[in-house]
Amino acid sequence: MARTICVAIFVLFTCQTSYSLRDLDYYWREYTGEVPEDAILGGRDINGNNIYIGQAYVKNEGLVVVQITPGVRQVLAPMKGIKKIDKYIKILCGPQQKVFWMSSNSSNLHLALIDKHAVIGGHEDGLGYINIGRISHEGEVKIGKINSFSAESAQFYFNDNGLERLITSYEILMYNDKDLDVRIKPY
Ligand SMILES: *[C@@H]1O[C@H](CO)[C@@H](O)[C@H](O)[C@H]1NC(C)=O
């Protein structure tokens, strides 16, 4: 009896810790056109201006990673084509030194993420988590989503002048959690 209770308590405790997201240093703030001071830099556009990482809700599809251009309220979400969104947009914020970009590709991503923590970018309804990706494209950085729920075909999707495009090699935004004992489990 005592043993059963011990096992039950152990299981309960373990489950709780692995799903808790406490102590994460990044967070999403509301974005209405102005970039907060603690926004995490995504890269630079063709004119050398900073771009940032956003998140937008696409109805019946999920929470999608988008590129944010300072001063521009509207974002173009790569989700079954390009969806224009100008409401309830979020921008990724936190200490810049807690994140870094790691090169990967669609067939290798799952292996590369073992025992590491990629920043969660959102989700696709019924499919799973997506991560934050970027590529260098025609002289500028493009921010987009990685459908990492798809084992061995975790591709990067972005807005290329109004068209949704898919690329298999990219960089993924990682969280530097060396002093953290908490991992986010794959979906
Ligand atoms: C994907 O990345 C792995 C590890 O870096 C590498 O060995 C492999 O060749 C890459 N595949 C492609 C198609 O780039």
3 CA to centre of ligand 1 in angstroms: 48
Burial readout 95-134 (b: 16 or more C-beta within 10 A, e: otherwise): eeebbebeebebeebbeebeeebbbbbbbbeeeebbbbbb
CA distances from 135 to 17, 42, 50, 100 (A): 34, 10, 15, 14
Atom of ligand 1 at shortest range from CA of 103: 5
Give helix then strand counts, H and E, for the chain: 2, 15
Q: Which amino acid residue places its CA nearest to atom 7 of ligand 1?
A: 108
Q: Which amino acid residue places its CA nearest to atom 6 of ligand 1?
A: 108
Please determine, for residue 176, whether its predicted confidence score (pLDDT) is greater than 50. Answer: yes
- Write down the residue that tokens 């937008």 correspond to: 56
167 CA to centre of ligand 1 in angstroms: 13
Check residue 105 and give its pLDDT: 97
- Give tens-digit pLDDT for 58-115: 999 999 999 999 999 999 999 999 999 999 999 999 999 999 999 999 999 999 999 9
